[in-house]
Amino acid sequence: MPGWIDKTRVLHNAHILSVFLNYVQVGDFVMRSRFFSFVFIIVLTLATGACGHNNSDTDDLMTLLLLWQLTQNTSITPCTNASVNVNGNAMTANTIDIDAPRLKQDLYVPGEILVQFKPGVSSQTTTSILNVHGLRTIRNLSAVPQVYSNLRLVQADVTQSMEAVALAVAQHPDVEFAQPNYIYHATETIPSDSSFGELWGLRNTGQSVNGSTGTFDVDIDAPEAWDLVSDCSGVVVAVLDTGINYNHQDLAGNMWRGTALHGYDFIDNDSNPMDLNGHGTHVAGTIGASGNNGVGVTGVCWNTQLMAVRVLNDVGSGTSAAIASGINYAVSNGAHIINASLSTTVNDPAVAAAVNNAESNGVILVAAAGNNGSNNDGTPNYPASYTNSNIISVAAVDQSGNLAGFSNYGATSVDVGAPGVNIKSCWPGETRVLNNNFSNWTKGSSWGNSNYTYSSTSYYMLTNPINWYGSSYGNNVLSNAYGQYNLSGADAVSVDFYADLGLASGDSLILAYNPLGGSLSNGLTSYTNITTSGALGYSGSVSLTSGCAGRSGCSIGFQFSTNASGTVAPNPGTQASGAGITGFNVHKLQLNSTACHTINGTSMAAPHVAGVAALLKARNPGATHATIISAIYNGGVSLAALSGITSQGKIVNARGAINQL
C-alpha cells in the first residue's frame, strides 16, 4: 500500500541520484552522495513540514534528509513564547513585486464630490454653478432638511483632482462647502491572541518571524475579512491528518461533536483521534484555533467545527484504506470542507473513488501540492492532482511572496498559493529529541563508534565492523548495540536515523528494542542489501509508541546479524563494508494543552485556504462548492512568483474572496 506523506515519497531513482556527484547540503548537514547511493524510504514523518532551501534538482534527496534536521530541535515552546523552527534554519526571504494592491486605499471616490448650497439658493442658481464646473447632479441628499437644506452628490471628470474641483466650487458665494466624497474603511479587526503578531500569513506587516522578515501585505488579508465574518461555527471542516489534540486550549472549544468523540481514528479503529505526531494539530490551528480569546494563536476562522479524522499514524504514515475511509467518513458525517495535507505519487483508485464521492456531495477538498520542489504537471501528486471540480490544490509562498523552494507547482495541476513558511500554530505537546552520540551505548563484539569524514565534514557514527571500510565484517555474528532511554511520561515515541549498508546476501541490520531495558529482545525492522547492487542509504522514522512510551528505561538500538557465508574484502559502496549509522535520535512527545510550533510546508499553506473556504461558507451557507471555489480563485491577488506555474497565478485573499460572493 502506498504511504501518504506531505513530503511526497522519494523512491529509488537513478536519474535523480546521478545529480549528486559530490554531496548534498541541507542546513548544516552535508553527506557525500555515495553515502546514499541508493535511496530507500520506509516512511517519513509529516511533523517537520518541509525544509527551507532553494529549488533545485536536489529536492528529492533533500526531502530524504528532513528527518535529520528535526533532531536539531530540543523542545516545543508554549504559544506565549517564541517558537523554534523544526527545520533548524529559516528560509531567506527575498523581495518580490505584487501585481496589484490588496485593497485599494483611495481617499475618495474618483469623479464624485459633495456640494452644500446655502439656504434659499434657487434650483436655477445651483444648476448654473454646477454647469460652470462641468458637474451634474447624481442625487440630492437633502432628505433631512434640518441638517442639509441643499446637499448634492455630483459627478465630476474622473481625470481631475477632486480636491481641486471642490476647492473651485467652494469659492462661489452661494456654496456653503464642497468636498470630495471621502472613503471610510472599517478598522481592521485584530484579535487579542497573544501570538497573533507572529502569524504573518494572516497579517503581514513585514515583521520578523523565526529570524526572517517579509514584505508588507503578502498575506491573506484575514483582519479585513474579519470585518465581515469571523464566526464559522456552522461550518464543519474535517482535518484528514494525524489527528488533533482536542484538549488544546485553542482547539477544545472548536472541536466537532458528532456521534463519536470529535471524529474517528482510522489508524487504531476507534473514536479517539488524538494526535500523537503534531502535524494534524498544527493544521487544525491554522484553520480554526479560537480567535480573540487572549491566548495563543488564532485560526482563519475564530469559531468553527473541527472534525478530527486520523488517517496517519504517529510517524505520519497512512494507507489507502485509511485515507479512503477518512474521506468517506467526513462526507457522511456532514463535513463541508476537507483539508488533506498529505500526498503520494500513486494514482490510487480507492482514494479516487472517495474523492468522487466528496465531489458528488458538494464537499470541498483542499489538498497540499507536495514538498519536493517539482512540477505536478509532469509528476502528479495525489490527491492534489486529481481533476475533480471540488479540489483546490495549494502551493506554498514565503513571507516575501516567493514560491517556497520546497513547494511543488504546476501550471495546470496546482491552483493557488498560500502562506507556508515559518507558520506558527498549535502543537499537541512538548516534543523532545533525545540525541545520542553512541559513546555511552552498550556495544557487543565488532561494534565501534568514531568520526568519519565526508567531503571535509566529520560525522560521529556507530559502525560494524569497528574499522569501517577498513576491514570486512565478521561471519556468523549476532551482536547488539543499544542505548537506554528514560521515556516516562511520553505519550508517543519514535526513532529516526541514517544507515549506510554494504551487506552480503542473508545478512541484516535490525532495529530492535527492549521495553524493560537491557539487551535487545524485540526486533522491529530488518534492513538488508546485496553487495553487488551497491550500498543502501536508509532514512526514516519508526514508531515505538506501543513498546516504549511511558517506560523509564527502554533500550533501543541495533542487532547486526550475519550468516556463515564468506564475505569479501570491502570496496566502498559496493562490497561488504558493513553498517554505518548516524543521526540516531529518539523523539518523545508528551501531550499538553498549551504548546505551539513553527514549521514549513504546503501542509501549512493548505489550511489557510481551507479556512478561507469556511469563511465563505459561513458568509453564504447556501453557496455551492463551485461558487466558493470560484470566489477563492477570482478574489485572489496576482503574484508574480505564481504566474505561469499555477493555474490562477494568485495568492489566496480572504477579503477578496468574500467580495466575490
C-alpha cell at 591: 501531550
Residue 452 lies in a domain: yes
Domain presence at residue 42: no
Same domain for 141 and 260, yes or no, is: no
Looking at the DSSP bridge assignments, the partners of residue 587 are 433, 494
**Pair (437, 424) in one structural domain:** no
Output the pTM of the full model: 0.76
Pull the grid cell for residue 156.
465630476
- Which amino acid type is present at position 645? I
Question: Is pLDDT of 5 > 60?
Answer: no
| pLDDT tens digits, one per residue of 86-124 | 322 222 222 222 222 223 345 678 889 999 988 888 889
Instruction: Examine the domain organization and report whether 311 and 223 are in the same domain.
Output: yes
Residues in the chain: 661
Least confident of 141-145, 322-326, 518-522, 557-561: 141-145
Among the listed residues 219, 241, 496, 500, the single catalytic one is 241
Rounding to the nearest 10 degrees, give the CA dihedral for residues 322, 324, 326, 328. Answer: -150
pLDDT at 143: 57
Question: Would the CA dihedral through 384, 386, 392, 395 be positive or negative?
Answer: positive
Same domain, yes or no: 147 and 237: no
Tell whether 439 and 475 lie within a shared domain. yes
Does residue 566 share a domain with residue 465? yes
Answer yes or no: is 28 within a domain.
Answer: no
Show Cβ contacts of residue 110 under 8 Å, excluding neighbours closer than 6 positions.
158, 162
Residue 394: CATH number of its domain: 3.40.50.200
Phi-psi domain of 573 (left: phi exceeds 0; alpha: psi -120 through 50; beta: other): left
What pLDDT score was predicted for residue 80?
A: 52
Nearest Cα to Cα of residue 607 among 237, 303, 344: 237
Domain boundary pick from 553, 574, 591: 591
Which range has highest mean pLDDT (198-207, 310-319, 320-329, 358-367)?
A: 358-367
635/650 same-domain check: yes
Domain count, the chain: 3
- 23 in a structural domain: no
What residue numbers bound the domain in which 130 lies?
108-182
What is the Cα–Cα distance from 461 to 446, expressed in whole angstroms?
Answer: 14
**Is residue 54 situated within a structural domain?**
no
| Residue at which a domain ends, from 131, 156, 182 | 182
Q: How far apart are the C-alpha atoms of 520 and 547, rounded to whole Å?
A: 12
Set of cell numbers at residue 134? 462641468
* Per-residue pLDDT tens over the stretch 403-415: 999 999 999 999 9
Q: How many CB atoms lie within 10 A of CB 497?
A: 21
pLDDT of residue 429: 95
Give the number of other CB atoms < 10 A from CB of residue 186: 10
Between 126 and 337, the more confident residue is 337
Q: What is the mean pLDDT of the chain?
A: 81
CB 201 within 8 A of CB 418: yes
Q: Looking at the structure, tell me whether residues 480 and 506 fall in a common domain.
A: yes
Average pLDDT over residues 176-192: 76
- Is a pLDDT exceeding 60 seen at residue 26? no
Residue 189, in any domain of the structure: no
pLDDT single digits (tens) 211-223: 899 999 999 999 9
Rounded mean pLDDT, 30-55: 29
Least confident of 252-261, 317-326, 372-381: 252-261
Q: Is residue 17 part of a domain?
A: no
Residues 6+ apart with CB under 8 A from 468: 448, 450, 452, 461, 577, 578, 580
Of the residues 248, 279, 336, 587, only one is catalytic, namely 279
Q: Are 516 and 592 in contact (CB under 8 A)?
A: no
Question: Which amino acid does the sequence have at 428?
Answer: P
- Whether the predicted pLDDT of 574 surpasses 80: no
Amino acid 147: pLDDT: 55
Residues 405, 290 share a domain: yes
Query: Annotated catalytic, 241?
Result: yes
User: How far, in Å, CA of 578 to CA of 528, rounded?
Assistant: 10
Residue entry with cell 434657487: 122
375 bridge partner residues: 409
Q: Domain containing 577 — which CATH number?
A: 2.60.120.200
Residues 397-454 have pLDDT tens digits of 999 999 999 999 999 999 999 999 999 999 999 988 887 779 899 999 899 998 888 7
Active site residue 279: yes
pLDDT the model gives residue 185 = 52
CATH number at residue 160: 3.30.70.80
Q: For residues 84 and 317, which has the higher predicted lDDT (pLDDT)?
A: 317
Least confident residue range of 146-155, 304-313, 595-604, 652-661: 146-155
Asked if residue 215 and residue 299 are part of one domain, the reply reads yes
Residues 393 and 527 in one domain: no
Among candidate residues 126, 154, 182, the one where a domain is terminated:
182
* Residue whose C-alpha is closest to residue 625's, from 614, 641, 640: 614
- In 10 A of CB 39, how many CB atoms? 21
- The C-alpha cell at 506 is 542473508
Based on the domain organization, do 491 and 520 belong to the same domain?
Answer: yes
Mapped onto helix, strand or coil, the DSSP state of residue 445 is coil
Sign of the CA dihedral running 100, 301, 357, 375: positive
d(CA 306, CA 257): 9
- Domain membership of residue 88 (yes or no) is no
What's the pLDDT at 145? 52
User: Which one of the listed residues 56, 75, 161, 439 is annotated catalytic?
Assistant: 439
* 657, three cell numbers: 474572496
